[in-house]
Amino acid sequence: MLVANYRPEKPRDPFIWIVISILLASVLTVYPLAYDLSAWRPFIMLLVMLFWVLCQPTWCGVWFAFGLGIFTDLLLDAPLGQSALIYVVITFVARYFIRERRVLTFLNLWIIAIMAIVAYLVFIWATQVMLEINYPVMRRWPPLISSVLAWPVLYYFLRKWRI
């Protein structure tokens, strides 16, 4: 039996939420904090990029990661292309790892996020060593820990827009 007023459910358009999450992440990235507290600031732009690339692959891909990396470099006054390069590499590797998986559970996504955060931290460290930028080594671990713990919070708020 057919129902006369049946309309198939339209797929949700995540564009506005992608833009809002990027704007919120950029504010959280540059918001001034006390020196001791700023050491624990998570890599929120990386996490937002990773969420959208993994959970909305039709909307966000390598070009999205590249553009967000350039935007992050401009926000942080970092060498132009530094974040863009690692965001693109992380996107490519993450997409490569998930291409065979049909169902990505929260735990799978969290493990991928942890590997991406560690790769990002190692790449930034290597870049700073090559550019002879002196940065205290002990200030590298707090953002790693806070980013790993921030992933579930970010996932909780954005999970509604996951495919």
Question: What pLDDT, in 10s, does the model give residues 107-154?
Answer: 999 999 999 999 999 998 888 888 887 776 666 789 999 999 999 999
Angle at 109 between CA 142 and CA 125, to 5 degrees: 35
Given this model, what pLDDT does residue 163 score?
74
In a domain, 10, yes or no: no
On the CB side of 50, CA atoms within 13 Å amount to 31
Token pair in block for residue 156 = 């909780």
Q: Whole-prediction pTM value?
A: 0.89
In a domain, 114, yes or no: yes
Given this model, what pLDDT does residue 132 score?
83
In a domain, 88, yes or no: yes
Query: Who wins on pLDDT, 49 or 134?
Result: 49
98-135 burial, b at 16+ Cβ within 10 Å, e below that, comes to beeeeeeeeeebeebbeebbebbbebbeebbeeeeeee
Residue 32 reports pLDDT greater than 80: yes
Given this model, what pLDDT does residue 22 score?
97
Residue 101 reports pLDDT greater than 90: no
In a domain, 85, yes or no: yes
In a domain, 5, yes or no: no
Average pLDDT, the chain: 89
Structural domain of 82: 42-161
Residue 12 reports pLDDT greater than 80: no
In a domain, 117, yes or no: yes
Angle at 90 between CA 39 and CA 154, to 5 degrees: 55
In a domain, 27, yes or no: no
Query: Who wins on pLDDT, 97 or 86?
Result: 86
Query: Who wins on pLDDT, 117 or 161?
Result: 117
Given this model, what pLDDT does residue 3 score?
61
In a domain, 130, yes or no: yes
Angle at 16 between CA 9 and CA 69, to 5 degrees: 130
Neighbours of 86 (CB within 10 A): 23
Token pair in block for residue 53 = 């690339």
Given this model, what pLDDT does residue 149 score?
97
Given this model, what pLDDT does residue 133 score?
78
Q: What is the total count of domains within the chain?
A: 1
